[in-house]
Structure 1
Amino acid sequence: MKKIEIKEFGGPEVLEIKNVDIGKPGQNEVLVKNLSIGINYIDTYHRSGLYPIPLPSGIGLEACSIIEEVGSEVKLFKVGDRVTRASMPIGTYSEKQIIPEDKLVKVPNNISDEVASCITLKGITAEYLLHRTYQVKKGDKILYHAAAGALGQIFCPWANALGAEIIGTVGSDEKIEIAKKNGCHHVINYNEKNFVEEVEKIVGKNGLDVVYDGVGAKTFEGSIEVLKVRGMMVAFGNASGYVHKLDIKKHINAKGLFFTRPSIAHYTIIRKELEEAAEKVFEAISEGKFKVEISKKYSLDEVRKAHEDLEGRKLLGPAIILPN
């Protein structure tokens, strides 16, 4: 089978396509054929070494697949089941993969392969951010950075459905309408305007209940500044670079803020929580709380281009790899 492998950390050029033997699943594992593969920004962190992984390694955390073979002790699934996942073990950029059964969830019949492959990680991320990291409720005033991105396409309309007032930031004027379409009530181009000043014009000084910041170094200080007393800072990504220092006196004590740095691993490590989160995501799609519009499709041979487009902010929504 074909798979994408990295032998060293670096740019998109380190992504190599290999032909390898897949082997047999262990007693609690299944062998799956990947039907559609999700592309996520965390994949670039693994590739670059920002989030170090043992090398050589496959890459990718998300895919929709069909089970071709099951181990002797597998209880949750059978051959022919359509499943999805968004967690370790890494390596979804491949035609096939062997996966522990407890990392998988079944895909409902009304969810397509392509949607399932790009909704599991981003959908569950949106679910825990909105419902568990901070429980968004009607009337909350929230700021979400990178509102035109793939996660923003899910998060913002879902937050809107919960009754929140959403301020979104984007990196270019062309993305303003996309963010508005995604459900933002107000949109700020943070490369053209000071987003702190613009937020204060909308909600006043120290006016936000919660900030969701997946951008990182570029927006961190401003995100702290616009929060209300006892507001919550949710720092869940590093697209512009890692925030290396949290000054408790400066960043937390001044307004008695809550600060968290969550990841999907923290919210899916318990099997029951994984199943419940996936169920909420699939229900939200069925109820029309958000729509998934795939922005671009690549082949495995085009994986370097996919990462170039992702890091170059050229993707205006979820993107996928079709392995066959």
Structure 2
Amino acid sequence: MSKAIRLHQTGGIEVLQLENVEVGDPGPGQVRVRHTYVAVNFIDIYFRTGRYPMPLPNGLGSDAVGVVEAVGPGVTDLQAGQRVGYLMGPQGAYSDVRVMPAEWLIPLPDGISDRTASTLMMKGMTAQYLFRQVYPLKGGETILYHAAAGGVGLIACQWARALGVTMIGTVSSDEKAAIARENGCTHTIVTTRENIAARVRELTDGKGVPVVYDSVGKDTLQASLDSLQPRGTLVSNGTSSGPVVIDTMQLAVKGSVWVTRPAMVHYATPRSHMLDMATELFDLVLAGKIRGEPKQMFALADAAEAHRALESRQTTGATVLVP
């Protein structure tokens, strides 16, 4: 009998229940995967609390790595024993074994361990689409990136350094500032004691930045808008502090700025494009320009504690569950 975290209602961490589940053979176009690591992402909290609706009862999580146990009819590009990862698809990654649609699985290259890959699937691919697609960075830009010591943030720090981008990163403590700088963040702003927009203007000789990547949301919205150059772009890629509500007149007042709310699914499909994104990411890892190791590890049965740590802002980098 396999184990999985299940939800029968939305709410606090107490709704996460470890249950026995039956996992059958894969059907047409499907693959059965035994997980080695399961990533915990802030979007999982949105699903758990009901901010993002889903049918109930249900599993949780959409980001994991593991080994293919069996393939169903019609699957020709994957085979038993192959190492794979995924970042999209149906909820249910918080489990030791599951059946997945083959179209969402990404083969892992030799030279990248499962442990490293567990930090790269959702988080590394998020950095890829933010920096290479949503607002393509060419090198030489100065950018503002919120939550620079988070799971995506530490990869973004390294990617910015690899591109030759000057990254200004916000963090909540001096300890997190040091971690962000160690990973390539050029300047850090400690939000508990520094004014974000004022510091950005100081660092850019009053010009502001052409783009802000903001996964925090409500609490940083005004600072993000105030940090932009005229016709700059606010990439609102998360709402960990609460939903973003914008009066469009503000966009004109702040300098005819642009706002976009991107979603991974629109940048990582079709499958061929997702695989190209992964190749760019993996090449940087294999070249030693991006490194990833989990900073916090919990047993699958302790998923609630992992959520507690992530929500309390106690974590840095990636958090994973070990089945």
Aligned residue in 2 for 1:108:
109
Q: Is the 8 A contact 2:4 2:95 kept in 1?
A: yes
Residue by residue over 1:34-67, the C-alpha shift from the partner in whole angstroms, topping out at 9 and shown as x without a partner, is 1111111111111111111111110011111111
Superposed CA RMSD in Å reads 1.2
SS at match of 2:210: strand
Give the whole-Å Cα distance in 1 for the aligned partners of 2:59 and 2:283: 31
Match of 1:137 in 2: 138
- 1:278 corresponds to which residue? 278
CA distance in 2, matches of 1:239, 1:142: 20
Contact preservation (8 Å) 2:115, 2:293: no
- Distance (whole Å) between structure 1 residues aligned to residue 254 and residue 115 of structure 2: 46
Q: SS of 1:215's equivalent? A: coil
Write the distance in 1 (CA, Å) between the matches of 2:117 and 2:151: 14
Aligned to 2:213: 212
Gaps of 5+ in 1: none
* Corresponding residue pairs, total: 322
Q: Which amino acid in structure 2 is aligned with residue 140 of structure 1?
A: E
Scaled by the length of structure 1, the TM-score of the pair is 0.97
Rounded Cα–Cα distance in structure 1 between residues aligned with 2:3 and 2:273: 33
Q: Distance in 2 between matches of 1:254 and 1:120?
A: 35
- Distance, in Å, in 2 between the alignment partners of 1:67 and 1:138 is 38
> How far, CA to CA, are the matches of 2:139 and 2:93 in structure 1?
38
Other-structure match for 1:309: 309
Inter-partner Cα distance in structure 2 for 1:254 and 1:148: 28
Q: What CA distance in whole angstroms lies between the structure 1 residues aligned with 2:38 and 2:252?
A: 39
Partner-residue secondary structure (3-state), 2:118: helix
Task: Give the TM-score, by structure 2 length.
Answer: 0.97
Query: For residue 238 of structure 1, what is the aligned residue in structure 2?
Result: 239
Counterpart CA distance in 2 for 1:217 and 1:102 is 35
Task: Tell me if the contact between 2:31 and 2:72 (Cα under 8 Å) persists in the aligned partners.
Answer: yes
Provide the residue aligned with 1:12 in structure 2. Answer: 13
Distance 2:208 2:287 in 1: 31
Q: Is the 8 A contact 1:62 1:118 kept in 2?
A: no
2:47 corresponding residue in structure 1: 46
Query: Which amino acid in structure 2 is aligned with residue 185 of structure 1?
Result: T
Moved over 3 A (4+): none
CA distance in structure 2 between the aligned counterparts of 1:157 and 1:34, rounded to whole angstroms: 27
CA distance in structure 2 between the aligned counterparts of 1:253 and 1:295, rounded to whole angstroms: 41
Do the aligned residues in 2 keep the contact of 1:114 with 1:320 (CA within 8 Å)? no
Query: What's the CA shift string for 1:98-117, capped at 9, x where partnerless?
Result: 11110001001111111112
Are 1:223 and 2:212 counterparts? no
1:111 and 1:20 map into 2 onto residues whose CA distance is 30
Question: 1:122-133 maps to which residues of 2 (within 5 A)?
Answer: 122-133=123-134
Q: Could you tell me whether the CA contact under 8 Å between 1:205 and 1:226 is conserved in 2? A: no
1:133-282 pair list within 5 angstroms: 133-243=134-244, 245-252=245-252, 254-282=254-282
Alpha-carbon offset, residue 185 of structure 1: 1.2
Partner of 1:211: helix, strand, or coil? strand
Contact 2:226 2:254 in 1 (8 A): no
* Deviation string, structure 1 residues 195-217 (Cα, Å, up to 9, x no partner): 11111111133420110000000
Amino acid at match of 1:274: M
Please give the secondary structure, in 2, of the residue aligned with 1:218. Answer: helix
